[in-house]
Amino acid sequence: MKFQIEKDVFQDALNQVQHVVSTRTTLPILSNVLIEADELGLQLSTTDLDVTITKRISAKVSKTGKTTLPARRLASIVRELPTSEIDFEVNEDNAATVKSGPSFFKILGLPSEEFPVIGEFGEAKEFTIDQKLLKDALRKTSYAISTDETRYVLNGVNCLIGEGMLTLVATDGRRLAMVEQDLEFPAGNETAVIIPTKAVNELQRLLGDSGELKIALTSSQASFELNESHLITKLIEGNYPNFRQVIPGAANHRVTIEREVFLNAVKRVSLLANEKTNSIKFAFDDNRLAISANSPDIGEAEESIDVRYDGPRIVVAFNPEFVMAPLRNLDQDEVFIDLIDESSPGVIKIDEPFLYVIMPMRVAN
């Protein structure tokens, strides 16, 4: 196998695929990237057996063939190479020589036959949607995914397609983020799947701001095809909890807040959040919001900002991280907070079909 490739193209492609590769693995082949050269160019693939990413790039191939090379090492070498043209040659023993200007590297790889073959995709339900739409939706929900591995069904984004809508939900039992987007799809294709965290993260890296992507879903696998990239992931099998049960009904009081002002104030006050309870207090009162934190051994912080609110005084405590997460991932200038009372969950909303339910912390006084 022999080819010549531009450094930037190669580096970008390696960067996109190398995250899947796990650093600690019992199977050495899983740390490698599969490189396949044909007349049209190169195809790079990495997998951890759950998520597989394949990326096509153009290269001047003078001799076709395939091999696997350690993905991270290759990526760091390519990144440091001095010139923009790289000459690549791999012999029968899977030893690769990389030449770039005065630099010369020899990297030992593993035979391509060892690289796990991705299972064939069965009969799938297919959809085509805008990349931006999915990217936005994932960004607005993925931070609420649970990291608690004992509740594996929560370790992903629940993706429902039905009733003319694409609904994405993530929750960890303390907060819940949900996006609903209108989506046209063929009748009979209603489905619900849970996309695991890793695939969600990789997908966000791959998705761009324009163009479309093709999604195919079976009951155990999902495939996403876009921009010469292809991501295939196993799905989390199990029943996602009925999240609609915990979304509060009509709220009594609505607060309108400037998102950035709010985010920055919470960020500052949270520096002194009580370490034990990890909560800070939000006191809503007649067009004012006073955010305060109090750590008995360290000190206290308070910041007051203008909001639009005309209800009664409500003091409620939240985990500041849980408040900041959605604020960081929204673009709107204004957000709304719907409150029922001090012990009921608050709901952050925007002008678009998004909502974020957050459980108040129970604190004395």
Partner 1 sequence: MQSSPDPESHESSEKQDLGALWWSVSDDLRAELGASTVELFLPNFRLTGLDDSVAVIQVPGSGYALWAETNFKESILSTLQKHIPACKSFRFDVTDEEAVLPVEKAKSEKKKNKAAKLKERVLTERISDEKLVERGRAAGLVDLFTFENFVPGQNSDLAWAASQAVANEPGKTYQPLFFHSACGLGKTHLLHGIGWASLKKRPKSRVLFVTAEQFSNDYIDAIQNNALVAFRKKYREADLLLIDDVQFFGRKEGLQQEFFHTFNRLSDLGRQIVLASDCPAGEIRALEDRLVSRFQWGLSAEIHRPELETRAAILRRKRDDWSMLVSDELINAIVERVQGNVRILEGALIRVAMVTTMTDEQVEPARLDDILSDLVGSGASSGFVGLEEIKQTVAEHFDIEVNVINGKKRTKRVAEARHIAMFLIREMTDLSLMDVAASFGKDHGTVIHAVKKIKAECSSSSSMKGTVELIRRRLVRGGSSLESKRARRSSSPKSGSQNLDSNSYRKKFSD
SS3 132: helix
Q: Which residues neighbour 260 within 8 Å (Cβ) at sequence distance 6 or greater?
A: 333
94-153 residues near partner 1, rule: CB under 8 A: 151
- If residue 108 lies in a helix (H) or strand (E), which one and from where to where? strand 103-108
193-222 residues near partner 1, rule: CB under 8 A: none
Site for partner 1 contains 298 (CB under 8 A): no
Within 10 angstroms of residue 270's Cβ, the number of other Cβ atoms is: 19
The two three-digit tokens of residue 228, written as one number: 């010469």
Site for partner 1 contains 253 (CB under 8 A): no
Bridge partners (DSSP) listed for residue 44:
35, 55
Smaller CB distance to partner 1: residue 6 or 172?
A: 172
Distance of closest approach, residue 13 Cβ to partner 1, in angstroms: 40
Among 23, 26, 245, 365, binds partner 1 (CB under 8 A): 245
Smaller CB distance to partner 1: residue 214 or 244?
A: 244
Smaller CB distance to partner 1: residue 350 or 358?
A: 358
- Cα 102 to Cα 105: distance, rounded to the nearest angstrom: 10
What's the residue count for the chain? 365
Q: What Cα–Cα distance (Å) separates residue 174 from each residue in 129, 148, 171, 247?
A: 31, 12, 7, 12
Cα–chain-centroid distance for residue 327? 16
Q: Which stretch binds partner 1 (CB under 8 A): 43-51, 98-106, 195-203, 336-344?
A: 336-344
Site for partner 1 contains 343 (CB under 8 A): yes
Among 41, 248, 311, 353, binds partner 1 (CB under 8 A): 248
Q: Which stretch binds partner 1 (CB under 8 A): 26-34, 95-103, 243-251, 275-283?
A: 243-251
Among 239, 250, 296, 297, binds partner 1 (CB under 8 A): 239
Site for partner 1 contains 246 (CB under 8 A): yes
- The string of DSSP letters for 188-206 reads T--EEEEEEHHHHHHHHHH
Site for partner 1 contains 340 (CB under 8 A): yes
Q: Phi and psi (nearest 5°) for 330?
A: -105, 160
Site for partner 1 contains 359 (CB under 8 A): yes
Binding site for partner 1 (CB under 8 A): 151, 154, 171-174, 239, 241-246, 248, 340-341, 343-345, 359, 362
